[in-house]
Structure 1
Amino acid sequence: MNRHQVLPHVELSSEPNALKKVDCCAPQSYKGTGFLSITDMPRVADEASTKLPGDGFDWIVQTYFKDSPGSEPHQILELGLKGRLYLVCQRCLQDCVVDLDEKCRFILMNSEAEADAYPIEDEEQEPLVVKQHFNLLETIEDEVLLSLPLIPKHPEGFCEPHATIFGDVGDEQPENERENPFNVLKNMKKN
């Protein structure tokens, strides 16, 4: 590719099926925006505790070529995601809203070997291996899943721990009447 060549600019379709086969090996750049519902992303839907109509993620994608000294220009993919998902709060076991607003940048590579050789200390962008029929929808879904918290929780003070975690409510004793678990050890020491 000639460094001074003007590349065609292609507008991406917002249809989920069209995002499954994007030709990232062609000498052209892409731009697109759209909305993906939770149902368009089955792995994300599996994580959701509640699925409401209209839930999903707005996305924006742009690719461009960036000069790299001594070699051919590298293609860069910038992805922005914004949306919300309902997960189970690990404190109270009720629905918890998780709002995502993510921006990530990838350098597109042609092979696994090329991606493995990419410097790991580059925190601005990570390598992403692409083929002629690149599944952009899967990459968007991957980034949503990677952005989810490991342990979803409401903010402090917004929920109470679930009673069944600590035993049945009917079996609870007042705080001052609970049996000390170390009494057994105390009695053993006396004998």
Structure 2
Amino acid sequence: MSQHPGKTGGLIDPHAIDVFEFARSGRQAAGAVRVSQLPRMLAEVPAEAPDRDTLFTWQAEGSTQPELQDDGTEAAQPYLRLALHGAAWLECQRCLAPYEQAFDVEATYRLVATEAEAEAFPLDEDEIDVIVGSRQFDLVELIEEELLLSLPLVPKHEHCPQVHESLVSGAAGEHASELGDEEEQSGGEQRAPGAGEQADAGKPNPFAALETLKRGGGESGKKH
């Protein structure tokens, strides 16, 4: 990634920004980065994608905001806003074909000097992340991190052009197996009464036999 001009003039190396000075002076910068410059993001792009090296544009803006300190006074604290726009090709988990995923990311960060400060920082606002800044801050690394965090949990087309044949055969096989089991169970239930009826045709009804015994027992008792 090449250097990019900021609002106050001069060139900014996005791999080594004095992010605290950037925030204090309210500077702005913009630029572009390709997926090939983001190795972890590139690993998410399928080899058969039409374009593995798509472009993302970014805008960064520094600022300060007054915050209440422990001693009761207010002091200006550094903030960084980052916006990302672009698209990358991912593999659809439904049809296994590449599809183009759009990314529109906006994030605001509260800058602190150490990890200890970051861990101790009260998280009152969910939309603001706390990050450790430096005089040689790598904005490209932050851009890649935000893109990775914005990846869909299950990448997929909104509407798949077609379902992969392996998924079709697998789904059909499972469906056919389920249908076969249901038919077998249904058929077994239907055949059982038929077999029972044929068997019952040559046997006396057990309830009728019981009634006969009752009657016979009664008549026998009366005779004696």
Pick the TM interval, shorter chain: 0.7 to 0.9
Q: Write the mapping of 1:97-108 to structure 2, written as runs, cut at 5 A.
A: 97-108=100-111
Q: Write the mapping of 1:8-157 to structure 2, written as runs, cut at 5 A.
A: 9=8, 13=12, 18-26=13-21, 27-49=24-46, 50=49, 52=51, 55-69=54-68, 70-155=73-158, 157=159
Q: Aligned partners of 1:19, 1:51: CA distance in 2, in Å?
A: 28
Q: CA deviation at 1:179?
A: 2.7
Q: Aligned partners of 1:41, 1:149: CA distance in 2, in Å?
A: 18
- Equivalent residue, structure 1, for 2:180: 179
Q: For the Cα contact (< 8 Å) 2:52–2:88, is it kept in 1?
A: no
Q: CA deviation at 1:172?
A: 5.7
Q: For the Cα contact (< 8 Å) 1:100–1:147, is it kept in 2?
A: yes
Gaps of 5+ in 1: 1-7
Q: CA deviation at 1:158?
A: 2.9
Letter paired with 2:14: L
* Farther off after superposition, 20-29 or 75-84: 20-29
Q: Aligned partners of 2:178, 2:145: CA distance in 1, in Å?
A: 50
- Which has more radius of gyration? 2
Q: Give the number of the structure whose residues are more often helix, by fraction.
A: 2
* Farther off after superposition, 173-182 or 78-87: 173-182
Q: CA deviation at 1:72?
A: 2.7
Q: CA RMSD in A?
A: 3.2
Q: CA deviation at 1:52?
A: 2.1
User: Which SS does the other structure have where 1:113 is aligned?
Assistant: helix
Letter paired with 2:109: F
Q: CA deviation at 1:42?
A: 1.3
Structure-2 change in CA distance of 1:77 and 1:10 (3 Å): farther
Letter paired with 2:58: W
Letter paired with 2:180: E
Q: CA deviation at 1:47?
A: 0.9
Q: CA deviation at 1:37?
A: 1.0
Q: Aligned partners of 1:131, 1:98: CA distance in 2, in Å?
A: 32
Count of aligned positions: 174
Letter paired with 1:95: P
- Equivalent residue, structure 1, for 2:162: 160
Structure-2 change in CA distance of 1:182 and 1:107 (3 Å): farther
Normalised by the length of structure 1, the TM-score is 0.77
Letter paired with 2:57: D
Q: Give the number of the structure whose residues are more often strand, by fraction.
A: 1
User: Which SS does the other structure have where 2:14 is aligned?
Assistant: helix
Normalised by the length of structure 2, the TM-score is 0.66
Q: Aligned partners of 2:10, 2:125: CA distance in 1, in Å?
A: 29
Q: Aligned partners of 1:101, 1:53: CA distance in 2, in Å?
A: 18
User: Which SS does the other structure have where 2:81 is aligned?
Assistant: strand
- Equivalent residue, structure 2, for 1:3: none
Q: CA deviation at 1:182?
A: 8.9
Percent identity (aligned): 26
Q: For the Cα contact (< 8 Å) 1:45–1:51, is it kept in 2?
A: no
Structure-2 change in CA distance of 1:77 and 1:28 (3 Å): same
Q: For the Cα contact (< 8 Å) 1:91–1:160, is it kept in 2?
A: no
Q: Aligned partners of 2:105, 2:175: CA distance in 1, in Å?
A: 46
